[in-house]
Amino acid sequence: MAAINPVTDLVIEDGIAVVTLNSPPVNALSVAVRDGIYQGIGEALDNDAVQAVVLICAGKTFIAGADIAEFDKPRSGLTLPQVQQRIEDAGKPVIAAIHGTALGGGLEVALVCHYRVAVPSAKCGLPEVNIGLLPGAGGTQRLPRIVGAEKALEMVTSGMHVRAKDALAMGLVDELTPEDGLRAGAIAFARKVVAEGRPLRKVRDMNEKVEAARGRPELFAEFRRGNARKFRGFQAPEANIRCIEAAVNMPFDEGLAFEHKLFEELMAGTQSAAQRYYFFASRKAWNVPDVPADTPTIPVNTVGIIGAGTMGGGIAMNFLNAGIPVTIVETKQEALDRGLATIRRNYENTASKGRISMDDVEKRMAQLKGSLALDDLAQCDLVIEAIFENMDVKKEMFGKLDRIVRQGAILASNTSALDLNEIASATSRPQDVIGLHFFSPANVMKLLEVVRGEKTSKPVIATCMQLARRIGKVAALVGVCPGFVGNRILAQRQREAGKLVLEGAMPWDVDRVLVDFGLPMGPFAMSDLAGLDLGWRRENSTGSTLREILCEMDRRGQKTGAGFYDYDDKRQARPSPVVENIIRDFAASKGITPRVVSEQEILERCIYPMINEGARILEEGIAIRASDIDVVWVNGYGWPVYRGGPMRYGDSVGLDKVLAKMQDFEARFGDDFKPAKLLVDMVAQRKSFKDL
């Protein structure tokens, strides 16, 4: 074997050259890898003894994409298109041999090879859309030439990974090799190509599939219509669609130039920068500086959950989905039956959509045991409490768990806001107590706030972070304070939303501004969905808040057909003249004269205090890093990822501007806008959150 350069080897076996890339961990297309491919392929082609070339990767995967870390640096070395041209124009067949994932630039390299073979477990995809981009090295022009416009649209706008079997059916790969025989299979395939004198097949010349879509603009119009909701606010999906349209309507080279132009536009734009920032933020969040990767962890093979209500049931599903048996405990048979039935119904719904099989439903349900006896949790490795949000009730429960559950097990609470240290103090083993704050619906929402108490041990933290990954969550480690990171910041926005409607904005004005900003729902529509009567009791109601007044009128949200909005029988919301009058009367009773509140004020009043609270959270060490706060808000509250997260948004607005506005609001509206010390200090030092 001859080393061509530090990442490339070349061997020639009986006329077939095998170029092997080896750049751990994922053979990303760094300068070195681009050079390596160019040189390796070049040397093979220049060798008269070589009849065909196999391009294969060492390690766990074929080229898994671009080297994103290079995006924000000055460009250097060979460009990917230069490398691709060397392959595509080769006078001898080049065969890509794929294992692991051929993603983004990796698949674009494979697409300029004349043939592709893969192992059955391999996956292919163009996921650039997820970082606000499009495949900028011919992916949007070549993919539809193989799979057709419809399938290409789906792939580039979703970033989906296609399994090798499906890739074979679509023509994206030409042959599957045995799982453990990629190299031999690729060489055998290469020999076959040579022996049969197969042509040097260039995807750029394959026009049949794109011609089939030409003159059918409705194909694209329908795709846009069908996905309008999903793509709302994002620039990259539309740019990807336009490139597929170009592939269909333009000659190849023009399409390529069009793709290049749109790629550069996205690359220079704010959305992709924010999405790339978020990509790194979500990876960093797993890293806890004082809990190193080699911290011992506690095996978790059985989980106990207390409370089969809204949260307990959803939490249980996470573990069942990961194949971990769960015992769920309730106080009454009726509540237990209801909880178990809800879990089954959820699974059956998923099965009816074809996402899992009925067999999977039964397998998961078989791993779930219901019980009315806490004693049944004695041998669990992890117990998660999801009962009523009341400190006395929780402390009593943790006291019992302390007596019942075996030593060494992890005792977790799903509390949304209570003091975890106080809960832990009810046990003789506070080092084993931790918060696992799931979000509702717990089987759907990606976020898990892992709450570290004063005494929580490092192995318990390490175990819970690892477990979060195992059950497919995005975790952020946070400290103890009311509402932790997510809800504490949310409280700022909710307070301002409430004040704004008394000052003259209507609930639908506030909601519209926040939805236009990119949030999935405004605070008032959200309240209507959750029910205005959460925690409300008629006998205690004093009509002292808008919410109480609405509940007293039986306007309790969507479920009663009326809340802040009026709802029709399809649950479509309409602004309510009744509510408008109630608000005006209520404001008048408080001596407030309504004024016109601008959209800009709504946005700044709702968002800037969130950024300010984030700064306080950092000041207090409740979050490890600013980017963790962004991870919490993107995954737990639907903050638009193309704006990075609230802290990144603060940076992009300019913290000096945020501070100046907070000071202006403080002068006009008082202490709710008191700037955080950290914010003041950062502005004085011309720093932003990314510099912390």
Site residues (vs ligand NAD, CB under 6 A): 306-312, 329-331, 335, 386-389, 397, 414-416, 438-440
Residue 186 beta carbon to ligand NAD: minimum distance, rounded to whole angstroms: 50
Q: Tokens representing 161?
A: 């990974």
Least distance from ligand NAD to the Cβ atom of residue 398, Å: 11
Q: Which is nearer to ligand NAD, 308 or 602 (CB)?
A: 308
Distance CA 15, CA 635 (A): 52
- Is position 128 annotated as part of the catalytic site? yes
Of 43, 88, 128, 385, which is the active-site residue? Answer: 128
Minimum CB–partner distance for residue 413 and ligand NAD (Å) = 7
Torsion angle of C-alpha atoms 89, 94, 99, 101, degrees rounded to 10: 10
Kindly state the smallest distance separating residue 385's Cβ from ligand NAD, in Å. 8
DSSP 312-341: HHHHHHHHHHTT--EEEE-SSHHHHHHHHH
Closer CB to ligand NAD, 397 or 658, in the complex: 397
**E strand or H helix that includes residue 630:** helix 626-637
235 vs 416, beta carbon nearer ligand NAD: 416
The distance of closest approach from Cβ of residue 191 to ligand NAD in the complex, given in angstroms and rounded to an integer, is 60
> By C-beta, is 612 or 635 nearer to ligand NAD?
635
Beta bridge partners of 98: 118
Compute the least distance from the CB of residue 486 to ligand NAD, in Å. 10
Q: Which residues lie across from 447 on neighbouring strands?
A: 474
Rounded to 5, what percent of the chain is helix, strand, coil? 55, 15, 35
Per-position b or e across 142-175, b if 16+ CB within 10 A of its CB: bbbbbbbbbbbbebbbbbbbbbbebbbebebbbe
Cα angle for residues 430, 435, 437 (degrees, 5° grid): 170
Whether residue 658 contacts residue 611, with contact meaning beta carbons closer than 8 Å, is answered with yes
Half-sphere exposure of 225 toward its Cβ, with a 13 Å CA cutoff?
Answer: 6
Q: Judged by CB, which is closer to ligand NAD: 397, or 549?
A: 397
CA distance 465 to 459: 10
Q: Which long-range contacts (CB under 8 A, 24 or more apart) does 468-471 make?
A: 469/286, 470/322, 471/318, 471/319, 471/321, 471/322, 471/324
Cα 419 to Cα 550: distance, rounded to the nearest angstrom: 31
Measured CA to CA in angstroms, residue 487 lies from 107, 418, 478, 526, 614 at distances of 41, 11, 12, 14, 11
Closest to ligand NAD by CB, 234 vs 438, is 438
Q: Which one, 104 or 370, has the nearer CB to ligand NAD?
A: 370
Nearer to ligand NAD, 438 or 637 (CB): 438
How many Cβ atoms sit within 10 Å of the Cβ of residue 467? 26
Closest CB 326 distance from ligand NAD, rounded Å? 14
Shorter beta-carbon distance to ligand NAD: residue 331 or 352: 331
Helix (H) or strand (E) holding 94: strand 94-98
Largest Cα–Cα separation, the chain: 93
Residue with the closest Cβ to ligand NAD?
A: 309
Nearer Cβ to ligand NAD (316/641): 316
Interatomic CA distance for residues 622 and 612, integer angstroms: 14
- Find the catalytic residue in 13, 43, 70, 108: 108
Give the residue from 299, 283, 624, 663 showing the smallest Cα distance to 474: 283
C-alpha–C-alpha distance, residues 348 and 352, integer Å: 6
CB of 397 to ligand NAD, least distance (A): 6
Identify which of residues 395 and 499 has a Cβ nearer to ligand NAD in the complex: 395
Strand partners, 435: 413, 451
- For 631-677, give the secondary structure using H, E and C: HHHHHHHCCCHHHCCHHHHHHHHCHHHHHHHHHHHHHHHCHHHCCCH
Is the preceding peptide bond at 217 cis, omega within 30 degrees of 0? no
Residue whose entry in the numeric block shows the structure tokens 């290409």: 152
Q: Is 362 a catalytic residue?
A: no
3 state SS of 96:
strand
Q: Tell me how far, at minimum, the Cβ of 327 lies from ligand NAD, in Å.
A: 12
Question: Cβ 304 to ligand NAD, closest distance in Å?
Answer: 11
Report the nearest approach of ligand NAD to the CB of residue 278 (Å).
23
CB atoms within 10 A of CB 264: 11
| Whole-angstrom distance, CA of residue 138 vs CA of residue 111 | 9
Residue type, 555: R
Burial grade of 332 (CB within 10 A; 0-12, 13-18, 19 or more): exposed
Closer to ligand NAD at the Cβ: 439 or 673? 439
- Which residues are identified as catalytic? 108, 128
